[in-house]
Amino acid sequence: MQFTRSRRCAQSLMWLLVATYTCLLTVHGSAFEPFVDGWLCVLTQFVPALVCWLAVPGAGARRPEICWLAIGITAFAFGNVALVLAEAHHTSLDVPSTADIGYLAFYPAVLATLVLAARRELRAARRGIWLDSIVGGFGAAAAVAVLLGPAFSVSDQSIAGTLVSLSFPLLDLALVFVVVAIAALKRFRLSPSWMALMAGFAVFACADVIYDRSIASGSYHLGTPLDATWAIGLTLTTLWATRRPAERAPATAQPTVLAVPAIAIALSLGVLITGTITAVPMVAVALAALTVVLTGVRTQLAFGHQWRLGELRRQAGTDDLTGLANRRAFYAQAARQLAVSPRSALLLLDLDKFKEVNDSLGHHIGDRLLVGLGARLATLLRDYDLLARLGGDEFALLLTDVDQAQAEAAASRIHAELAAPFALNDIMIATDVSIGIALAPEHGMEVSGLLRRADIAMYKAKRARLKSHVYAAADESNGDDRLRTLQELRTALHTDQFVLHFQPKLDLRTDEICGVEALVRWDHPRRGLVYPDGFLPLIEEGGMMPALTERVLALAVAQAADWAALGRPLPVAVNVSASSLVDDELPEFIAQRLAARQLPACMLKLEITEESLMDDRDRGRRILHRLRDQGIEISVDDFGTGYSSLAYLRDLPIDELKLDRAFVFPMADDARAAALVVSTIGLAHSLGLRMVAEGVENDTALAELARHGCDQAQGFHIARPMPAVELDHWLSLRVRERQTLPAR
């Protein structure tokens, strides 16, 4: 507080002294006057130094630069004292003199002040901005060097005197250079305190230019109004030292591209042209030439920067994998295209079973498939159509000037083009897409709305196994319900809403329950118990099947362990999807679960479908062998509905076949169905496999299966799927009933 009060008093005194000194110099005579040329002259330079020193304690991060400014002004003031004393005693000072030492010390201190301030406030400035400031500084210095021309002509002096005399105009050029450079760095948008600092040094440099030219012409003498300009310049600089922190200029200011180099090159060319007409100092010519060279470098850097910006903009709108437009570019270009041609169709394409390709063959093959798909689609485009990859395996195609019939015809052409398999790493991959179509203006004019409606139509096509589907208002509720259900399923996985029901399997030889099949149910908080056909397709679609499989396996192993602990060991069979079967981590996950519950591997069976066996033969065989080596039995579910070959079944580590209910249900009334069942049982036994019949609905079918040598059976006639608690009760009742039956 004391420093602040003292600084304010010193500031008031400083302005009063400068105003008084300036006024008195205007009426000053040619003779030396001690009060004006002595005391007032010295005080107008020492008081600014005092103000700077008083500002140091409260300067914070600015303390180093203010210290350097205070040192520079103080050195200048002491140099001026030596000059005043010499004038008072009518003594001539040789060059270099004591006064010159003080004056020369002023420049490096002030330059240090400016450089420190610029580095602190402009740390985020780019390389081009610093180069702009250097170019601008050299250009301004070249122009000032022309004005200082006579000052560079020195004679009748010693070598030291010549060097000192030349150093003043050169240091003035350096001061001009730094002032202009910092102004360029700050985009010439300066706070009031910075403007005061720049003005102070500009006044100081102008005073030196006039002084040097006066000395060169022999017209300078002490006591003219020129003497006040140094005092005014020093006084203005102290405003920057005493500024409040709120006045700081923003640190991220950016200059206008090429504006500073353009001004600098104009000044430099002016200097060079002047040099062809009249004599100019070599220093000015050298600075002008250097400015031209640096401007060329800066211009090249600017054009390179603009090219990189253009390249970044292009990359920002391009899909890295396929080279097509990405989602961002599609939104922007489609909006412009719809504005010009509102009669359009948006086709949303989703690759069918792409996840299985990634899981079976690896992501690098999946990526190559997407690239090939994009290339084929591009061949179908007209010049004014727009194709983009939105992400994953989704592509969008905007067709202009088409109606519904033309859009559907385009979808048919796409399917025909994709009918030929893709040859990737000597593997022929056949694929297809589901296409949703939204029309403009019928279904909207905004890109986001059309995409949403095309997405709803695409999923309708996928669920109905259609090649394409045009959006209709009736699809809206189904689309919303699908999205809502997908979110509910994700929540269900994290909140343990999935439960298991168990259906017993009967050994037809011993009439004993030999195991159970675990069947997943969704215990929905509002809809109640939801059966698999109500959510499994969405689970697959949403990529949640691996998580659900892990959940079901964990529940099944836990329940089997509980039954084993109660002395009722029941092997539990769990269905495994095609996507889970190609998961290399599946065997390890199962082993960890079995070890955690200390359950023998023989108490867990995995049921797979024929379709899953055909998706990736090599990987499926490898994973099945790893599971079988652990002691886990493998069963082929829904046998007879797929396309497996007998040789394929022979090569795989399979323990049992489960005959689909489509063969079992009609066998009591259909001789051909019964013949198929009998032959299939014989086939299984010839391969050393166990045969299990599903869908047993009556006692006749059960008796016929037993008569033809079927090993096991399950179905509603035996027992429906039920929770573990109900199954325990059912098993207990069955044991009591069997105990009460008379011996045969």
Question: 157-189 as b/e, with b when 16 or more CB fall inside 10 Å?
Answer: eeeebeebbbbbbbbbbbbbbbbbbbbbbbbee
Q: Which residues pair with 440 in a beta bridge?
A: 344
Checking if the pLDDT of 125 tops 60, the result is no
For residue 422, how many C-alpha atoms fall within 13 Å in the half-sphere facing its CB? Answer: 20
Cis, bond preceding 441 (omega within 30 deg of 0): yes
* Domain co-membership, 652 together with 730: yes
Question: Rounded to an integer, what distance in angstroms lies between the CA atom of residue 366 and that of residue 140?
Answer: 61
How sure is the predictor about 166, in pLDDT bands with cuts at 50, 70 and 90?
A: low
Across residues 581-593, what is the average pLDDT? 87
The answer to whether the beta carbons of residues 234 and 76 sit under 8 Å apart is: yes
How many angstroms separate the CA atoms of 231 and 39, rounded?
Answer: 13
Residue where a domain stops, chosen among 302, 317, 349:
302
User: Predicted confidence band at 124 (pLDDT cuts at 50, 70, 90)?
Assistant: very low
Q: Do residue 90 and residue 143 come from a single domain?
A: yes
Strands 427-429 and 512-524: unpaired
The pLDDT-based confidence of 739 (bands split at 50, 70, 90) is confident
Is 460 within 8 Å of 478 (Cβ atoms)?
A: yes
- C-alpha–C-alpha distance, residues 664 and 642, integer Å: 16
Distance of alpha carbon 475 from alpha carbon 463, whole angstroms: 12
The DSSP secondary-structure symbol of 195 reads H
pLDDT at site 185: 62
| Residue 642 clears pLDDT 60, i.e. is over it | no
Of the candidates 255, 257, 261, the residue with the CA atom closest to the CA atom of residue 290: 261
* Residue 561 and residue 454 in one domain: no
Kindly report which listed range (173-182, 256-265, 525-534, 566-575) carries the lowest average pLDDT score: 256-265
Which residue has better confidence, 1 or 179? 179
Whole-number Å distance between alpha carbons of 229 and 45: 11
pLDDT for res 138? 62
Model confidence at 574, pLDDT cuts 50, 70, 90, reads very high
Please report how many Cα atoms fall inside a 13 Å half-sphere around the Cα of residue 332, on the Cβ side. 10
pLDDT bucket at 643, cuts 50 / 70 / 90: very low
Would residue 82 count as lying in a domain? yes
| 529 sits in which H/E element | strand 528-530
More confident residue, 274 or 376: 376
Q: How far is CA 255 from CA 187, 469, 593, 597, 612, in A?
A: 4, 55, 65, 70, 64
What is the 3-state composition of the chain as percent helix, strand, coil, each rounded to the nearest 5?
60, 15, 25
Q: Report whether pLDDT(50) > 90.
A: no
Q: Which region, left, alpha or beta, applies to residue 28 given φ > 0 means left and ψ of -120 to 50 means alpha? A: beta
What is the CATH classification number for the domain harbouring 575? 3.20.20.450
Is 743 part of a structural domain of the chain? no
Q: Are residues 126 and 259 in the same domain?
A: yes
Work out the average pLDDT over 549-566. 93
Residue 478: inside a domain: no
Last residue of a domain, which of 302, 318, 351?
302
Strand bridging mode 604-609 / 572-575 = parallel
Which helix (H) or strand (E) segment holds residue 434: the answer is strand 433-440
Phi, psi of 517 (to 5 degrees): -110, 130
Share of the chain above pLDDT 90, in %: 21
Task: Tell me the range of 285-289, 501-505, 662-666 where mean pLDDT is highest.
Answer: 501-505
Residue 593 above 70 pLDDT?
Answer: yes
Position 253 pLDDT exceeds 50 = no
What integer is the mean pLDDT of 627-656?
A: 77
In a domain, 281, yes or no: yes
Per-residue CA distances from 62 to 65, 244, 632 (Å): 6, 11, 75
Residue 744 domain-assigned (yes or no) = no
Selection from 173-182, 315-324, 615-624 with the highest mean pLDDT: 315-324
- Output the pLDDT for position 82: 82
Question: What integer pLDDT is reported at residue 255 of this predicted model?
Answer: 43
Helices and strands counted in the chain (H then E): 27, 16
pTM over 0.85: no
Whole-number Å distance between alpha carbons of 50 and 77: 11
Q: What is the pLDDT of residue 76?
A: 85
CATH number at residue 362: 3.30.70.270
User: Between 186 and 573, where is the model more confident?
Assistant: 573
Pairing of strands 604-609, 633-639: parallel
Q: Which residue has 């640190």 as its token pair?
A: 251
Highest mean pLDDT among 54-58, 139-143, 230-234, 685-689: 685-689
In this predicted structure, the answer to whether residue 60 has a pLDDT above a threshold of 80 is no
Give residue for tokens 């295209």: 337
CA 121 to chain centroid, in Å, comes to 29
Q: Which of 458, 452, 457 is CA-nearest to residue 432?
A: 458
Nearest-angstrom CA–CA distance, 247 and 238: 14
The answer to whether 600 touches 572, Cβ cutoff 8 Å, is no
Residue 246 has pLDDT above 80, yes or no: no
Q: How confident is the model at residue 102 (pLDDT cuts 50, 70, 90)?
A: confident
Residue 609 lies in a domain: yes
Query: Could you say which DSSP state residue 470 is in?
Result: E
Tell me: pLDDT of 352 over 50: yes
Q: Is 421 among the domain residues?
A: yes
Q: Which domain holds residue 236?
A: 2-302
Cα dihedral 166→170→172→173 (10° resolution): 150
Give the distance between the most distant pair of CA atoms in the chain. Answer: 150
The H or E element that residue 692 is part of is strand 690-693
Q: How far is CA 314 from the centre of its chain?
A: 16
Query: In the prediction, which pLDDT does 225 show?
Result: 78
Q: Is the pLDDT of residue 104 over 80?
A: yes
**Residue 514 shares a structural domain with residue 658:** yes
SS (H, E, C) 283-331: HHHHHHHHHHHHHHHHHHHHHHHHHHHHHHHHHHCECCCCCCECHHHHH
Written as one letter, the residue type at 187 is R
Say yes or no: 387 and 524 in one domain. no
Are residues 549 and 627 part of one domain? Answer: yes
- pLDDT category of residue 251 using cuts at 50, 70 and 90: very low
Mean pLDDT computed over 459-464: 80
The single-letter code of the amino acid at 32 is F
Looking at the structure, do residues 493 and 419 belong to the same domain, yes or no?
Answer: no
- DSSP letters for 345-397: EEEEEEETTHHHHHHHH-HHHHHHHHHHHHHHHHTT--TT-EEEEEETTEEEE
Of 542 and 81, the structure prediction assigns the larger pLDDT to 81
From 34-48, 118-132, 525-539, 564-578, the region with the lowest mean pLDDT:
118-132
Tell me, yes or no, whether 311 lies in a domain. Answer: no
pLDDT at 15: 80
3-state SS record for 472-525: CCCHHHHHHHHHHHHHHHHHHHHCCCEEEEEEEEEECCCCEEEEEEEEEEEEEC
Do 466 and 603 share a domain, yes or no? no
Checking if the pLDDT of 257 tops 50, the result is: no
Place of tokens 């922007």: 332
Residue type, 692: V
Mean per-residue pLDDT, 455-476: 83
Question: Phi/psi class of residue 319: alpha, beta or left (left: φ > 0; alpha: ψ in -120 to 50)?
Answer: beta
> How many whole angstroms separate alpha carbon 597 and alpha carbon 401?
65
Q: Mean pLDDT over all residues of the chain?
A: 79
Which residues, listed in sequence order, are joined to residue 517 by a DSSP beta bridge? Answer: 503, 573
In this predicted structure, the answer to whether residue 440 has a pLDDT above a threshold of 60 is yes
Quote the pLDDT of residue 249: 43
- Per-range mean pLDDT, top range of 91-100, 620-629, 632-641, 723-732: 723-732
- Considering 447, 473, 499, which residue would you say is the last residue of a domain? 473
The pLDDT of residue 271: 63
Domain count, the chain: 3
Specify the residue for token string 């039995």. Answer: 633
Other CB atoms closer than 10 Å to residue 230's CB: what's the count?
20
- Give 609's strand partners: 637
293-336 pLDDT tens trace: 766 666 666 666 566 655 556 556 788 788 888 888 898 889 88
**507 shares a domain with 404:** no
Query: Cα dist. 148→105, 160, 277, 517, 688 in Å?
Result: 21, 20, 17, 101, 109
Same domain flag for 607 and 469: no
52 pLDDT band (50/70/90 cuts)? confident
Percent of the chain with pLDDT over 70: 72
Q: Which helix (H) or strand (E) holds 573?
A: strand 572-575
pLDDT tens digit sequence for 144-163 = 656 555 555 544 455 565 55
Span 3-8, average pLDDT: 66
Whether 370 and 295 map to the same domain: the answer is no
What integer pLDDT is reported at residue 322 of this predicted model? 86
